[in-house]
């Protein structure tokens, strides 16, 4: 398979289904940001962290490819003439969302209660988590805007929302595991 096709040289790209759109289209921005998030998760996974988190991050990366595929599919061409879905893969399920919630509950159970906002940082790995969380929030904002224009499967948007929460809790848990200093944000008084 050739990597370069030259079909995008004039600033357009094809959605799944063949429709060509500008590379700055909100749909492209949405799944491009999910791809960016996926790369950040790979960076976190490559750190010296608990094997459980590495495996879960790999599972999440797989689910993000699913989210990206959903976002990359032209809604007008999502159903084939024979009535079958063009995108023939498992979708994001409520179980996928519940897994993130269960993981957060488990991590939160091992952490002190949060009483203040936390300044990102304290350890390089923790900082990578916070960056990924911010990219996830951006992906969610873009996907939400796209959903207003061209609705897609609700679980994909919910998954992004839950994932950003998961990444925040993971950052806190890794701070604890790595014995990093978690700095509370305490606003200066006037």
Asked if residue 169 has pLDDT above 90, the reply is yes
Q: For residue 60, what are its two tokens?
A: 């999440």
Check residues 13 and 155 and name the one with the higher pLDDT.
Answer: 155
Closest CA to 5 of 91, 55, 14, 180: 14
| 22 or 177, which is more confident | 177
Phi, then psi, of 13 in degrees rounded to 5: -145, 165
- Residue 142 in contact with residue 30, Cβ under 8 Å? yes
Range with lowest mean pLDDT among 101-105, 113-117, 123-127, 141-145: 113-117
Q: What is the reported pLDDT for 73? A: 87
Q: Is the pLDDT of residue 50 over 90?
A: yes
Predicted local confidence at residue 85, as pLDDT = 79
Q: Per residue, what are the HEC states of 17-59? A: CCCEEECCCHHHHHHHHHHHHHHHHHHHHCCCCCHHHHHHHHH
**Percent residues over pLDDT 90 in the chain:** 68
Taking residue 168's Cβ as centre, other Cβ atoms within 10 Å add up to: 21
CB 184 within 8 A of CB 61: no
Q: What is the pLDDT of residue 144?
A: 98
| Contacting residues for 148 by C-beta, under 8 A, at least 6 apart | none
Encode pLDDT of 58-111 as tens digits: 999 999 999 999 999 887 776 677 878 777 788 999 999 999 999 999 999 999
Q: Strand, helix or coil at 182?
A: coil
User: What pLDDT was estimated at residue 76?
Assistant: 75
* Prediction pTM value: 0.91
Q: Which domains does the chain possess?
A: 13-76+88-177 (1.20.1200.10)
For residue 114, pLDDT over 70 is answered with yes
HSE-CB at 170 with a 13 A cutoff on CA atoms is 30
- H helix and E strand count, the chain: 5, 2
Residue 78 is predicted with a pLDDT of: 67
Tokens of 35: 């791809």
């Amino acid at each position: 398979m050739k990597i370069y096709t030259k079909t995008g040289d004039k600033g357009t790209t094809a959605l799944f289904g063949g429709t060509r759109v500008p590379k700055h289209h909100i749909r492209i921005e949405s799944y491009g940001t999910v791809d960016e998030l996926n790369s950040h998760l790979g960076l976190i996974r490559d750190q010296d962290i608990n094997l459980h988190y590495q495996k879960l991050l790999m599972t999440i990366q797989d689910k993000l490819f699913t989210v990206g595929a959903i976002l990359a599919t032209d809604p007008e061409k999502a159903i084939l003439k024979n009535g079958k879905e063009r995108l023939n893969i498992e979708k994001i399920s409520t179980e996928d969302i519940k897994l993130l919630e269960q993981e957060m509950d488990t991590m939160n159970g091992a952490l002190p209660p949060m009483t203040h906002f936390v300044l990102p940082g304290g350890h390089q790995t923790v900082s990578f988590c916070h960056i990924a969380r911010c990219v996830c929030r951006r992906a969610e904002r873009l996907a939400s805007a796209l959903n207003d224009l061209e609705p897609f499967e609700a679980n994909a948007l919910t998954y992004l929302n839950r994932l950003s929460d998961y990444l925040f809790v993971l950052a806190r848990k890794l701070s604890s595991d790595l014995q990093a200093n978690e700095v509370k944000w305490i606003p200066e008084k006037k």
